[in-house]
Structures are given as C-alpha cells and as structure tokens.
Structure 1
C-alpha cells in the first residue's frame, strides 16, 4: 500500500466536512494529543506517526 499525506495551512475560513457520507468530523489534533489517543487511531495514522518520530518524515 502507498499512503499520501499532505501538509496544509488554512489561510481563511473554517475547515468543514464536505463529504458527510464518508467523513463525520473534521478536527485538529496536536502530535501530543495523538500520542494519547493511540487506541482510537487507524493503523495508517499510527504508521505515519511512527515514521514522523523516526525522522523518516518531516513536517
């Protein structure tokens, strides 16, 4: 599998769910908050966080 992650910056407005049939929420979490939510995260997100911590991915 190949995953793509994108770093983005909101320049105006408020992010919102535009595909409610696919997504039920849109929120921001800091990396430290994500560390405390590991049991709620997808395997994809856990892999991304591991790569980020290892230095293989930078933001």
Structure 2
C-alpha cells in the first residue's frame, strides 16, 4: 500500500515540476521578446541562455 502512495506522490510532484518548467519557459519567452537581457532571464528562471534563445 505504501508503494502505491509513494508512486502517486511521485507522479504528482513530477506533474508540478513539469508545470513550473512550462511556466518558466512562457515567462522567459515573454521577457526575451520584451528585450530583457538573456543573462537576467536565465538568472530568474533557471533556464540557460541557449534554452531561452530556442523558445
């Protein structure tokens, strides 16, 4: 029973993580389009400058 609970928790946490990553990418793209320097966007979102350029 506890294995199922840990599995569900893992899925939930992974989903939250993926959602946060998608939100960071959305924000980074907007910041980039607004002309904010890649270094600042990278520092605030955790994305690399290369990831930001690819958005």
TM-score computed with the length of structure 2 as normaliser: 0.24
Determine which structure has the larger helix proportion and give its number. 2
TM-score (norm 1): 0.23
Which fold has the larger relative contact order, with Cα–Cα distance below 8 Å and residues 6 or more apart in sequence? 2
Larger radius of gyration: 2
